Amino acid sequence: MSRRHNVRSIALSRNYNQRKALIKGLLNALIEHGHINTTVTRAKVTKGYFDKLAAKAQKKDIHSRRQIAAFLSSPKSANKLVDLIAPSMAGRTGGFTTIKKTNIRRGDASPMATLELCVPLPEPVKEDNKDKKDKKEKAKESKKVKKESKVKAKKTAKTKATKTTKK
């Protein structure tokens, strides 16, 4: 019989492809939202992967950006990690995330945890209400112009039709 000597990866009760997809999904959610709620075991596994990606992202070269995008299967998440998250963690060499144990899940009594970034995500820039109102007004005006041009086109078509029938 073969033994499992020196096998240190946590299987998470999944085969390789399912485990890889689960970790990618958790990493993308962590990068997008800044924190995720999951089981303690999944959080511990995800923490290791994120720390490696964050260390790569601090290099800020095109090669590391492409490696991160290939691993995450999401260029949007890779760009956010390299452009927004990594600069805020510039002084750190490790420990980019923290695991806080929260509660016990009701259905199966699994210990739950929150995995969050040590540095808060920068706030996305929101448009002013004036800008939104201006855009809405411009859209309304363009609709009115289109309707008026359609009405004029119909009137000219009717007048041409009546002129041809009178001859």
- Model pTM score: 0.70
- Cβ atoms of residues 113 and 40 within 8 Å: yes
Cα distances (angstroms) measured from residue 138 to each of 26, 131, 135: 41, 11, 5
Give the pLDDT confidence score for residue 85 in this predicted structure. Answer: 92
Q: Which amino acid is located at 54 in the chain?
A: A
Q: What are 45-104's pLDDT values in tens digits?
A: 999 999 999 999 999 899 999 999 999 999 999 999 999 999 999 888 889 999 999 999
Radius of gyration (Cα) for the chain, nearest Å? Answer: 28
Tokens 């209400």 sit at which residue?
129
Q: Which of 78, 60, 76, 58 is nearest to 68 (CA)?
A: 78
Reported in sequence order, the residue ranges of the chain that DSSP labels E, i.e. its strands, are: 35-39, 97-104, 111-117
